[in-house]
Structure 1
Amino acid sequence: MGRIQWKTFSVTIERGTEEVYEYIMNPENFAEWAISFCRSVKKTDSGWSIETAEGPMSLRFADGNPYGIMDHYVRAGAGNEKPNPARVIPDASGSKVIFTVFQAEDEADREYATTFRNVEEDLLALKSVLEKRTI
């Protein structure tokens, strides 16, 4: 088995943890902040579907919980589901969103580097969207 690489990103958002959690955990909001790859999102008979440059993918989130766990999972076609671990925790007057990116065994280093640049872009978009919202 090859080495497992991972990198964790975080962003501080000047909004309460409950507001951040509720926003992220709503799949209808996914295209507003996961801008690096999600073009649109829609509810289907079997769950949620997102449109990406690579084609349609399924999307599901972890069950709601009081711990700030916001993991979500994407799957292209009949392929393996890819986990995307995320958390929100209190941070001073706002919240910190923490997102971990794992490199898949079959993912080239260049692809992995692109993935974590995209995650940084998405977290900055999330911060922008949430901080511009009126409560």
Structure 2
Amino acid sequence: MHQVQHISIYIDRPPEEVYGFASDPANLPQWAAGLASSRVEREGDEWIADAPFGRVKIKFAERNPFFVMDHDVQLASGLTVHNPMRVMPNGEGSEFLFTLVRQPDMPEEQFAKDRAAVERDLKALKDLLENA
């Protein structure tokens, strides 16, 4: 069993708008610096990005009416990490939820750094969408 942390943030925008923007991998560099630090390029059904930890391949769940944006990130080492992510209606706005899964043999301090990176990314998404 892996340790998990559910990280969420309220975004004062309709779920359809949040999902529409966040589910487009081309938008990742605008808000997800922890995953895509430069342009994201499509390669078949995957997206290629330069992450702070190296070049990665990203494959998102198909667009769906449930606002699920789960995605797999394949690291340069070949390891694939599954990342559950979704948007849920919350009043007039949205709750954006990312589930961070601690990988085997990951030190506690790295897990804390990953959590902080996700929190920064979600805050950037909130700021971007609420101030657009």
Using the size of structure 2 for normalisation, the TM-score is 0.92
Map 1:74-89; keep pairs closer than 5 Å.
74-77=73-76, 79-89=78-88
Once the two structures are superposed, residues 113-134 of structure 1 have per-residue CA deviations (whole angstroms, 9 ceiling, x without a partner) of 100111111100010111122x
> How many angstroms does 1:73 deviate by?
1.5
What's 1:5 paired with?
3
What's 2:36 paired with?
38
Map 1:50-65; keep pairs closer than 5 Å.
50-65=49-64
Map 1:1-135; keep pairs closer than 5 Å.
3-40=1-38, 41-45=40-44, 47-77=46-76, 79-133=78-132
Once the two structures are superposed, residues 29-49 of structure 1 have per-residue CA deviations (whole angstroms, 9 ceiling, x without a partner) of 011111234211122356310
CA–CA separation in structure 2 for the residues paired with 1:46 and 1:83: 16
Shift in alpha-carbon separation, 1:129–1:111, aligned structure 2, 3 A: same
SS in 2 for 1:101: strand
CA–CA separation in structure 2 for the residues paired with 1:47 and 1:86: 17
Shift in alpha-carbon separation, 1:127–1:114, aligned structure 2, 3 A: same
Shift in alpha-carbon separation, 1:92–1:45, aligned structure 2, 3 A: closer
SS in 1 for 2:123: helix
SS in 2 for 1:29: helix
Mind listing any 5+ residue stretches in structure 1 that lack a counterpart?
A: none
The size of the alignment, in residue pairs, is 131
Q: What is the Cα-based RMSD across aligned positions, in Å? A: 1.5
Shift in alpha-carbon separation, 1:46–1:13, aligned structure 2, 3 A: closer
CA–CA separation in structure 1 for the residues paired with 2:28 and 2:99: 17
Shift in alpha-carbon separation, 1:45–1:62, aligned structure 2, 3 A: closer
Letter in 2 for 1:11: I
Mind listing any 5+ residue stretches in structure 2 that lack a counterpart?
A: none
CA–CA separation in structure 1 for the residues paired with 2:46 and 2:67: 22
Using the size of structure 1 for normalisation, the TM-score is 0.90
